[in-house]
Amino acid sequence: MQNNNFPPENTSVSTSRARIGKIGRLLIQLGKISFEDTDKILRAQQEHGLLFGDAALKLGLIREADISQVLALQFNYPYLQPGQGNYSEDLVAAYQPFSKQVEALRALRSQLMVRWFNEGYKSLAIVSSNAGEGVSYLAANLAVMFSQLGERTLLVDANMRDPRQHKMFNLKENRGLSDIIAGRAGLEVVSKVEFFEDLSVLGAGTIPPNPQELLNRARFTHFINYSSSKFDVVIVDASPANTSADAQVTVAHCGGALLVSRLNHTRLADITEVRNQIAVTGARVVGAVINDF
């Protein structure tokens, strides 16, 4: 006997939803379209011989940026829409991943992979002669880009005199590297970055009166060694080399440095001096970058 207590299943709706596909499901998950929209899109897709995303575009239900976003998710390439994440706009690798500027950074990332990380090294210090030459900017964007490759990446702010990374990533945790070295905190102060599964950031922490002495402690050596065993890439934002000896100590612990200068700003004599300082530590200058911004 037929049970009339339940309404008959709407087979046309269930069949349509079964044909949505991965792009459609991602668009729904992101809130770009509704289930009700999918029926219109599927009809337009069939009538005009279009892909699901192109049909949704034709109907004006989504934008090109929405298609780019779901394709990035489909291929596990995370990036952010404007305003998403509440991070600094200087994170161009996160907010403008298809810009010419980021293409240039990708080329740098490739060189670093070939010349350093593929050789078995894990940690790299980013250092400049003077303040304002783009070290924090470059370190942050390189960290984002390595994480986009699927590399487990840790960004460490070792500039305890004028730290920037806590602002760039809007970190809620006030403790950081200085607190770990001083024995006042553990690895729980390392922050996972939302939307970037493979990226973690450690801020500089409490500003100490003796950053150079802290960086010389064995705890810093242990931290770098431990981080290198847990992460594929460790990017360290170092203090300007001409301001203090902090950078020398940081580079010595990392074993390698990327030297940063700024176009029409950094003097050749300053760059030479930094290279000489790094050579004394026994560390290797992996490459040099000229910022133009």
Q: 148 and 77 in contact (C-beta within 8 Å)?
A: yes
Q: Is 291 helix (H, G, I), strand (E, B) or coil?
A: strand
Sequence ranges of the domains in the chain: 11-74, 84-291
Q: 234 and 204 in contact (C-beta within 8 Å)?
A: no
Give the count of alpha carbons within 13 A of 86, CB side only: 5
Q: 34 and 19 in contact (C-beta within 8 Å)?
A: no
- The token pair at 159 is 């500039």
State the pLDDT at residue 243.
86
**pLDDT per residue rounded down to tens, the chain (293 residues):** 444 444 444 444 444 555 677 778 878 877 888 888 888 888 888 888 888 888 888 888 888 777 766 766 665 667 888 888 889 999 999 999 989 999 999 999 999 999 999 999 999 999 999 999 999 999 999 999 999 999 999 999 999 999 999 999 999 999 999 999 999 999 999 999 988 989 999 999 999 999 999 999 999 999 999 999 999 999 999 999 998 899 999 999 999 999 999 998 899 999 999 999 999 999 999 999 998 86
- The token pair at 86 is 């509440």
Give the count of alpha carbons within 13 A of 203, CB side only: 24
State the pLDDT at residue 293.
64
Query: What is 84-291's CATH number?
Result: 3.40.50.300
State the pLDDT at residue 188.
96
pTM over 0.85: no
